[in-house]
Structure 1
Amino acid sequence: MAGASARPGATHPDLADRRVLVVEDDATVREVVTTYLRAAGLCVDEAGDGLLALRMVEAAAPDLVVLDRLLPGIDGLEVARRMHRLAEVPIIMLTALGSTEDRIAGLEAGVDDYVAKPFSARELVLRVQSVLRRSLAEFAPEVAFDLGEFRLDPNRRTVWQRGTPLRLSSREYELLAFLLKHPDQVFTREQLLRSVWRWEFGDLSTVTVHVRRVREKIEHDVARPAILTTVWGVGYQLSA
């Protein structure tokens, strides 16, 4: 694993005591990842397989999961799907499979970010910190507001549609919340990647997959989207 000999990053007080579950069957990789995350001030639990990880999430959901793609028994994609049935926990997947199809499969399973093996342990720590800050929404309180058939409450990180709360993953919520705050504006996939994911570069299929997942939850007819629409040749627009 690249970067394993580098000095772990400094503790970040704003993330102190946040709980991360590391799910990795390779004991050496698991030990290195755990060491670096603890050096960054995080509380870390460990699991060597998917079944144990699922039991741990069911007992007490962590703030974030670092999940290996290739696990014995139940593979990482199935573990991610089952985890999201138990809790809306953000997931960073470690993978040696770098194809676009594999990344898309992970996004469809609810994965928030990907780190390819071999990886830098320090880079992984930064990715974990970035996803935690977004998912935990440690910012000044915002006022809830209504827009058409939607109600957004940023402090509870909840969106209601026609009075019913939507079941959204962390990243789906962030995408929908951003668009609700900017109704009728057209955004390219690059702009959404920067504004929602805070990535300056990355796989644009990430945006495409999450737009489709949000549509499945808010559109009356997914085949003919009327709320989150595509502006051909440009990007996406939410019309509430």
Structure 2
Amino acid sequence: MSKKALVVDDEKVIVKGIKFSLEQDDIVVDCAYDGLEAVNMAREKEYDIILLDVMLPGLTGFEACQQIREFSNVPIIMLTAKGDDMDKILGLEYGADDYITKPFNILEVKARIKAIMRRATKTAQGKGDIEYGDLRLNEEYRRVFIGDREINVTSREYELLELLASNPGKVYSREELLATIWGNDYPGDERTVDVHIRRLREKLESTPSEPRYVRTKWGTGYFFQA
């Protein structure tokens, strides 16, 4: 079954180029040219991935990402201005899974999309649930629960939590987490990990400043407290 992508950018030449390239890999591509249109399309259809430009008319990419996160955990890649670190960090804060800087190489875009899709749809044969107290991870469907309440996490957030929870007590440095979850060739820095950890704590913990599950080993990294 073909994968489905939503490409959102107000520059129609960019959208056309990405659409053409992805369709060569049998990915079905829908296009939107402003933030509100993107939110409406994401609400009406199910996508395997969304490419979302930061600078959009109507709703900005950040606002669109935030609204989409209220009803969907579809992987979102933000398209940001080259060298604008604040855009990258804000994108992650608003719930994006990844970012790509403009101008970009379409081969890099395709590689990043395929990597995220592959991880998000990896087979779960023999996998079950990971449980610690009220916290439960359903590995087959990549869902997280606190008691009976489902926690809406992004693809990257789930992967981070699954890795840590599968190896309780093991301390991972930021460099190790970046390489394991994002890949050795990922161009981002360690702040990406910190942002995702902070967002996880805000979603999982009753008191994020005093986390029960995802703990910090000062000067070293992060670990899961069983």
Q: How does 1:43-82 map to 2 (within 5 A)?
A: 43-82=28-67
User: For the Cα contact (< 8 Å) 1:40–1:125, is it kept in 2?
Assistant: no
Q: How does 1:100-119 map to 2 (within 5 A)?
A: 100-119=85-104
The Cα of 1:157 is off from its aligned counterpart by: 1.0
What is the distance in 2 between the residues matched to 1:22 and 1:185? Answer: 38
1:24: which partner in 2?
9
User: For the Cα contact (< 8 Å) 1:192–1:207, is it kept in 2?
Assistant: yes
Any gaps of 5 or more consecutive residues in structure 2?
Answer: none
Residue 212 of structure 1 aligns to a residue in which SS? helix
Matched to 1:124, the amino acid is: V
The Cα of 1:41 is off from its aligned counterpart by: 1.5
What TM-score do you get using the length of structure 1 for normalisation? 0.88
User: For the Cα contact (< 8 Å) 2:82–2:103, is it kept in 1?
Assistant: no
Whether 1:158 aligns to 2:143 is yes
The Cα of 1:137 is off from its aligned counterpart by: 2.8
Among 137, 157, 165, the residue aligned to 1:180: 165
The Cα of 1:153 is off from its aligned counterpart by: 1.4
Whether 1:38 aligns to 2:19 is no
The Cα of 1:139 is off from its aligned counterpart by: 4.8
Whether 1:206 aligns to 2:196 is no
Residue 209 of structure 1 aligns to a residue in which SS? helix
What is the distance in 1 between the residues matched to 2:6 and 2:184? Answer: 24
Larger displacement relative to structure 2 (61-70 or 224-233)? 224-233
Q: How does 1:7-22 map to 2 (within 5 A)?
A: 17-22=2-7
2:81: which partner in 1?
96
What is the distance in 2 between the residues matched to 1:165 and 1:27? Answer: 38
Please give the per-residue CA displacement for 1:210-240, whole angstroms capped at 9, x wherever unaligned: 1001111222311222321111110011102
Q: RMSD over aligned Cα, in angstroms? A: 1.6
What TM-score do you get using the length of structure 2 for normalisation? 0.93
1:7: which partner in 2?
none
Matched to 1:42, the amino acid is: I
Higher relative contact order structure (alpha carbons within 8 Å, sequence separation ≥ 6): 1
1:11: which partner in 2?
none
What is the distance in 2 between the residues matched to 1:140 and 1:193? Answer: 26
Please give the per-residue CA displacement for 1:159-203, whole angstroms capped at 9, x wherever unaligned: 222343222122111111111101011000011112222244431
The Cα of 1:146 is off from its aligned counterpart by: 2.2
Quick one: percent identity of the two aligned structures? 38
